[in-house]
A and B are shown apart, each in its own frame.
Chain A
Amino acid sequence: MRSNPEKLKLLFAALAVVAAAALAYLIPSPTVLDAVVYFFYFLMLAASWNLLAGICGQMSFAHMAFCVTGAYVAASTANVLGLPMAAAVVVGALAAACAGLFVGIFTLRFRDITFSLATFAFAGVLTSWLIGASDITGGSNGMSAPPIFSGDQARAFVWLGLALSVVFFALQWLLLSSRWGILMRAVRDREPVARGLGVKATHLKVAVFAYTAFWAGLAGGYFAAYTEYVTPTMAGLENMGLVLGMVIVGGIGTVAGPVLGTLVFRFIDFFTRGYGGEYTVFTFALILLVTMLFLRDGAMGLITATLRRFRAPQERWHAAQPAAAPGATPES
């Protein structure tokens, strides 16, 4: 009952990614290319936040802070040290990972809502610093960044985004099919029990925190190189909320969920673009509300349920085995 819908969902997500890239290939108008680059940017953010929050259970609000760390470090190393932007983006991502390690160690004694609040506070402090320290960061005006590619930027960024996303999902697949996959879900669902069985939960949480911060930083550098500009608004709560919303709309804790959620958001953004940003956020917030009210597992949950309905009777094992039907499943 697990494997087939699982594969179908993955296929679906892979198709969505390929379709986005194909769209850019077939209709290379600037608006389409731009939308596809934004898609990959948000996909990296949503997918890595989903790994941290949905699979490892760490509801962090600092993801955009790591993203902006990556962006600023990339821009400033390229500007100041004269590093090629591609290398600077990697340096930025590594800096974000270090920041993730630091914040992770600092917040490891917190659980649940206090953890979220601590990461939230960190994001706030960083944003204020970026605005305040204008002699270093350019304040609210931000900082310019050199381009990575010469010539046809947008199209190259589509391929780069595709490649990075494929690498992310390939690595995630390796991670989830290794012992780490079991471990992350164990810590998410019952951390005390996992500790009792000998798992070093804090090591795991800090490692996942740093790893996902790396990807957030990489996404930030990618975006900075594309727009050739970084501003503190990237780290704003609105962007964090959007990433969170994409994951929830798509289906938190699933592999394909972030892909769908990002896709939904990009479509809305694409068609409401002419009317100003508020409409995008408004429509998306509406969808988010509906999802939370009626589809607790997001779009992925809806798809799974539909698939299950089509391939029902023989799959329902308790029909054949009334004595072993699912009983009370205590949730702590």
Chain B
Amino acid sequence: MITRPRRTEAAAKPSGRVPVDLVATGLRVAYERDVEILRGVEITAAARRISLVIGPNGAGKSTFLKAVAGLAPVTGGLVTLGGVDITRWRPRDLLAHGVALVPQNGTLFPAMTVRENLQMGGWLRRREKAWLGESIEAVVNRFNLPRHLVDRRAGDLSGGQQKLVEIMRSMIMTPTTLLLDEPTAGLSPKMASQVYEQIAALPGDLGVTVLLVDQNVRSSLAISDDVYVLAMGLNNDRGTARDITERLGEITAGWLRQGVSGAVKS
């Protein structure tokens, strides 16, 4: 195991918050020995753009986001943020450095109020009370969360509201790079479009670089700039959103074939 650099001191200072590219080169991940889930993935999330990663179930999309966020065992390759090597950083250091992850399954604290959840999002800067209050206020306004919901138990909100609060919580620390794993899974189309609307506005309004993983291919293509297709832990295709939209039928047909061969192989 490679030793993990401790970057707390450098990371504690918000690094000027200039949006920069997040680049993964030759990224390899194995949860167990000799079973590589990612086998050299190359993905660039360009600054102030929305980059979309799509692929069949089990392709390794979530694993890729986890690896970037310091939650999956990286066995090879590099992740850089604006040229700085951030491979295998601890989640808290990444967060302090401006990289935030919103995982696939619900991660709100259900027994806490929405406000308390948002406060937890700013835990690293909890001592700056005034700043934290302002940051929460700004996020609540930005996402148009109805006022009366702020002091409600998070577990009592609807699925879509919960997802929005999760994204809001990740925005408290004003990240420059936001990693989103299937933010609309299980939501009604109406709520999903509300969530997409908020995501689409992040690069323009707040200068956030978004790396989005999504199964809801058509809707997510509509808000994305660059698209990467993953299959079986490898880059399979890439292009602009328009390009991929045109070839979408052909690409998803390929997933079916690969799904079969994958099953035979394993």
Which residues of A lie under 8 Å from residue B121 when comparing CB positions? Answer: 197
Q: A196-B71, A197-B95 are in contact. Are A324 and B120 (CB under 8 A)?
A: no
A277 at the interface (CB under 8 A from B): no
- Chain B positions within 8 Å of A189 at CB level: 109-112
- Known contacts A182-B116, A330-B106; A195/B158 CB under 8 A: no
Q: Of B111, B116, B149, B159, which one neighbours A327 at CB under 8 angstroms?
A: B159
Cβ-defined partner of B120 (8 Å) among A194, A317, A325: A194
Residue B105 lies at the interface, judged by CB distance under 8 Å to chain A: yes
**What 0/1 readout, one digit per residue, does chain A (8-27) give for beta carbons within 8 Å of chain B?**
00000000000000000000
Please classify the interface of chain A as helix (H, G, I), strand (E, B), loop, or mixed, using the class held by over half of its residues: loop
CA distance A331 to B160 in the complex (A): 15
CA distance A112 to B60 in the complex (A): 29
Of residues 1 through 47 on chain A, the ones whose CB sits less than 8 Å from some CB of chain B are 2
The answer to whether the Cβ of A308 comes within 8 Å of any Cβ in the partner chain is: no
State the Cβ distance, B46 to closest chain A Cβ, in Å.
25
A328 and B159 contacting across the interface, CB-CB below 8 Å: yes
In the assembled complex, the Cα of A327 lies from the Cα of B188 at a distance in Å of 11
Of A324, A326, A331, which is within 8 A of B146 by CB?
A: A324
A195 nearest CB neighbor, chain B only: B91
Q: Give bound CA distance, A194 to B116, whole Å.
A: 12
Task: Give the CA-CA distance A327 to B250 in the complex, in Å.
Answer: 37
A329: B residues at CB distance < 8 A:
110, 155-156, 162
Q: List 16 A-B contacts (CB under 8 A).
A: A2-B153, A182-B119, A185-B109, A186-B109, A186-B112, A194-B120, A197-B123, A198-B124, A324-B157, A324-B161, A326-B156, A327-B159, A329-B110, A330-B105, A330-B106, A330-B162
Determine whether B148 belongs to the interface, using a CB cutoff of 8 Å to chain A.
Answer: yes
B124-168 interface (Cβ within 8 A of A): 124, 126, 146, 148-149, 152-153, 155-162
Known: A186-B120, A195-B92, A330-B105. 19 other contacts (CB 8 A): A2-B153, A179-B126, A182-B112, A186-B112, A189-B109, A190-B109, A196-B69, A196-B71, A196-B101, A198-B92, A198-B95, A198-B124, A199-B123, A317-B148, A324-B157, A324-B161, A327-B160, A328-B159, A332-B105
In the assembled complex, B249 has its CB within 8 A of some CB on chain A:
no
Nearest-Cβ distance from residue B132 to partner chain A, whole angstroms: 11
| B contact set with A: CB distance below 8 Å | 69, 71, 91-92, 95-96, 101, 105-107, 109-112, 116, 119-121, 123-124, 126, 146, 148-149, 152-153, 155-162, 186
Task: Give A193 to B108 CA distance when docked, in angstroms.
Answer: 8
Closest Cβ of chain B to A189, distance in Å, is 5
CA–CA, A185 and B91, complex, Å: 20
> Closest residue of chain A to B170, judged by CB?
A197
Distance in angstroms between the alpha carbons of A317 and B106 in the assembled complex: 23
**Nearest residue in A to B94 (C-beta to C-beta)?**
A196
Q: Are A182 and B120 in contact (CB under 8 A)?
A: yes
Q: Which residues of chain B are within 8 angstroms of A331 by Cβ–Cβ distance? A: 106, 110
Q: Which residue of A is nearest B105, CB measured? A: A332
Assembly CA distance A195 to B159 (angstroms): 23
Task: Indicate with 1 or 0, residue by residue over A315-329, a CB within 8 angstroms of chain B CB atoms.
Answer: 001000000111111
Contact yes or no, B95 A325, CB < 8 A: no
Asked if residues A325 and B158 are in contact (CB atoms below 8 Å), the reply is: yes
In this complex, what residue of B is CB-closest to A329? B155
B110: A residues at CB distance < 8 A:
189, 329, 331
Taking a contact as CB atoms under 8 Å apart, the answer to whether A193 and B109 are in contact is: yes
A196 pairs with B91, CB closer than 8 A: yes
Residue of A at shortest CB range from B69?
Answer: A196
Chain A residue contacts of B160, Cβ below 8 A: 327
Instruction: Name the residue in B71, B119, B120 with the highest tally of chain A Cβ atoms < 10 Å from its Cβ.
Output: B120
Q: Which 4 interchain pairs have the tightest Cβ spacing?
A: A327-B158, A198-B92, A330-B106, A198-B124
Q: How far is the CA of A189 from the CA of B186 in the complex (A)?
A: 22
Q: Are B157 and A326 in contact (CB under 8 A)?
A: yes
Could you tell me the distance in whole angstroms from the C-beta of B89 to the nearest C-beta in chain A?
Answer: 12
B-chain residues with CB within 8 Å of residue A328 when the two chains form the complex? 159, 186
Q: Is A332 in contact with B106, judged by CB distance below 8 angstroms?
A: yes
Q: Is the CB of B123 within 8 A of A198?
A: yes
- Residues on the A chain within 8 Å of B71, using CB: 196
Q: Would A197 and B120 count as touching, CB distance under 8 A?
A: yes
Chain B residue nearest to A326 in the complex (CB):
B156
Cβ-closest chain A residue relative to B188: A327
